[in-house]
Amino acid sequence: MSFEPYQFARTLHEEYSSDGDETECHSEVDKKEMELKEPDIENLNVGQAKRLSVSAEAYGEWNKKNDNFVAKVYKKDEEEKSKIREALNESFLFNHLNKVEMETIVNAFFDKNVEKGVNIINEGDEGDLLYVIDEGEVEIFKTKENEKEILTILKSKDVFGELALLYNSKRAATAKALTNCHLWTLDRESFTYIIKDNVAKKRQLYEDVLKQVTILKDMDPYERSKVADCLKTKTYANGDIIINEGEQGNTFYILIDGNAIALKDNKVIKTYNKGDYFGELALLKNQPRAATVKAQNNCQVVYLDRKSFKRLLGPIENILYRNVENYKKVLNQLGLDSACIGDN
């Protein structure tokens, strides 16, 4: 997923994430992790990109907190609240909130009906609302040289528009109702009051973790921050299976606490410690998982879905491929078949 920005680091990268593979950056989404990229941030030079980054002037006057803020409450039944909650839990911006914070945000959503064919968001407009689709379908597209480029189709429980609430930036794409739609809508003030500080803390925590990962520590800070914005966290108990040999792989993992082991034919072929990563083979080579990875002690991982992995870790793909040969050597030394890893 990633477009109108839910990806914290993609400053003007407005993304509408609708996680397709697994969890995608739910950075706005994710549930299909769609991302609406701001007029091609990839084409900006490093200096420009850094000036756009959160650490610079991301929040601006628009996002200053109001000390007299009173949380808005719009009446909803429990089923409606549950649907909003479920959608927000798929976004990295919201999934770390405690119960009180989550309820405050959920209560602040108000509903909006949009007729088929109406633009909900217009590319180039100022953004001050976040949307959750309750019912209906929304088409996300950009216009380049008078040509319409469809980026994705959003459906029920997809979220879009959040990063526009964090940044003083214009909408990166147009969102048009393909059907009659019922939306839940959140204003900038409510979003900023609860979310801004939480996101900043989460971002710094993950960036600190990534600096300890050997293959990522030399990445440009801007690139590393983009990875941090798409990470999600999961905890495993001793003996839990993190990866199953033979299954389709859609996730790349980094161990941030505890230990894990890789097993093949019931033999331990590798031990993972804090800062180690695994799961990249299946994503690099589009093959089933080559081994099982099991938690030792209680452990915690952060992870990226397939789409985010491919997009964000491109600069280090060659380094990852070098490890393929190392895995083969270990298997051969143990007398195990390395054919499952394939060739580079």
Which residues are known binding-site members for 3',5'-cyclic AMP? 162, 171, 280, 289
Rounded Cα gap, residues 157 and 136, in angstroms: 10
Q: Are residues 35 and 16 in contact, defined by beta-carbon separation less than 8 angstroms?
A: yes
Annotated binding-site residue numbers: 162, 171, 280, 289
Neighbouring C-beta atoms of residue 267, cutoff 10 Å: 12
Which residue's structure tokens are 């590393």?
A: 224
Query: In this structure, what token pair is assigned to residue 115?
Result: 């007729």
CA-to-CA separations, 333 to 149, 294, 323, 337, in angstroms, rounded: 51, 21, 15, 10
* Edge-to-edge strands, sheet with 159-160: 110-114, 181-187, 129-135, 159-160
Query: In this structure, what token pair is assigned to residue 163?
Result: 């990063």
Q: Is 330 exposed, middle or buried (0-12, 13-18, 19+ CB in 10 A)?
A: middle
Name the region of 225 (left: φ>0; alpha: ψ -120 to 50; beta: rest): alpha
Rounded Cα gap, residues 329 and 235, in angstroms: 30
